[in-house]
Structure 1
Amino acid sequence: MRNILVVAICTVSLFLSSCQDWIDVNPKTDIEAEKFFTSEDGFKSALTGLYSMMTLEKSYGRQMTFDFVEKLVQRYDNYAPGAVTDEERAAIYKYGETTSSKNAIADIWLKLYNEIANINNFLQYLETNGDVILTEGYRDLMKGEALGLRAFHYFDILRLWGPIYSLDSTKLCIPFRDKFDSESAPMMAANEVVKRIVADLQAAEELLKNDPMNYEHVAEEPFIGQRKHRMNKFAVKAMLARVYLYRGNKELAAQYAREVIEKSGLELVRNN
């Protein structure tokens, strides 16, 4: 498994330096994508690489979890008592003036769309080369995870850059890209983005209906072990609960939330 992770990180983490280089995403090794996606193991490594990209600091390894975004909503502050003034702390909200904020916002935007580009590339090769995946059920498992991850990314981008949904759901806000190509994508209305997110999650839910949901380490086949750390079928259902609540459909949100609570086999860290 360790070797798979190393290959995945080297081969699939395709970093983009600018919008002009959006498609100039050569792997960091000499393995070309066309050769990489020619075996089941190659697809396994590529999918692992998608998760690996999300652990970097500009993404969910820092900025999207415990740093910039959490500071914006005032749920986290890593300054020592008395180290900064209230005025200095408030500078994070001066997006047009504070260099650190401008850079953080630009980095998050670019990194999340970079990850989406890699997910789209993975899905594209899954459609054209997926016949090389011979183990029964693995192709559906991989596609379901990738669609769930794409929806996960777009939902966060929408919540950060979109309008207050309950007040103006038709406002143009972000581009939605579901193909790996060089074509520009226009800004899309928030409610249309939500429709696309729900469509991805519903497709993922169907593809993952036979998810083995093995939470333990499976030595003989690591790919289907430790499912609690992947975009498994209950993670997709939890995402649907979040998106339906955001959309204002409390009945469906509650339905999916109850299903996760009652059937996932997991408990809250602290039972409330």
Structure 2
Amino acid sequence: MRIANIDGRLTIVATTDHGIDVERASGGRFAAEPTAVFDRWDEFSEWAAGLEDIAAEVELRPDRIGAPSPTPRQIFAVGLNYRAHADESGFSIPDSPVVFTKYQSALTGPNTTVRLPSGGHTDWETELVVVVGRKASAVSEDDAWGHVAGLTIGQDLSERITQRSGPAPQFGLGKSFAGFAPTGPWIVTPDEFADPDDLGLGCSINGVEMQDGRTSSFIFGVPRLISYLSSIVTLLPGDLIFTGTPSGVGMGRDPQVWLKPGDELVTWIEGIGELRQSFVA
């Protein structure tokens, strides 16, 4: 199953260009607001599995698609989760997940125009994003996938000057400028993948490939991240976990490269789709 946010309404993706409005199809049983469904994920999944002969009347135009979980209560992000990215960043391989947060105000849908901070060094980071579907506290790795609603794509856009400012790193601020957390285009449930632990992902800028990796290269896979995070905090339905980026970011290049006005960034993950960001001054 794939679910999307179309004009702020929860929609099941039925074909490549049309979907089913959930509130209308369920006779009001489920609300239109996309994030509300995660608190009733088991009930919703059972209902959706039994849908028959429902007309897919919602047009899935790119300009109508919003963030699939638009108001998560928590957004976690994991750094240095690929060995090659840790190497290019000049860090040793971590012994446990390196976790920071992005702020909800940075969250957007998949097709956006992003204003670059003046005088900054804005970088790209392609990431698989986990959407939590069930409340998780002290979850074992064996049970972790059972707490996942689905997977989507994210860009952890990062303003490196702000990120490095001050006596301690400012990860949360440097990665939370307006528009710095595009996600989408929809959430894909784990059963849709042959192997949800091994997905290709990458990005290009103006048609030139910048990143190309596989999630099977994670240092800490999705089950480990959910188990680790839930041992410390309670994960809530609709929460997002950005799982880290492969090598190929601008900061790791020689010379370093930053996003500039006029650039188009296309981000993709196998079996999910793509994001498109354009940048202005």
Fold conserved (TM > 0.5)?
no
Instruction: State the TM-score, normalizing by the size of structure 1.
Output: 0.26
Instruction: State the TM-score, normalizing by the size of structure 2.
Output: 0.26
The structure that is strand-richer by fraction is 2
Larger Rg: 1
The structure that is helix-richer by fraction is 1
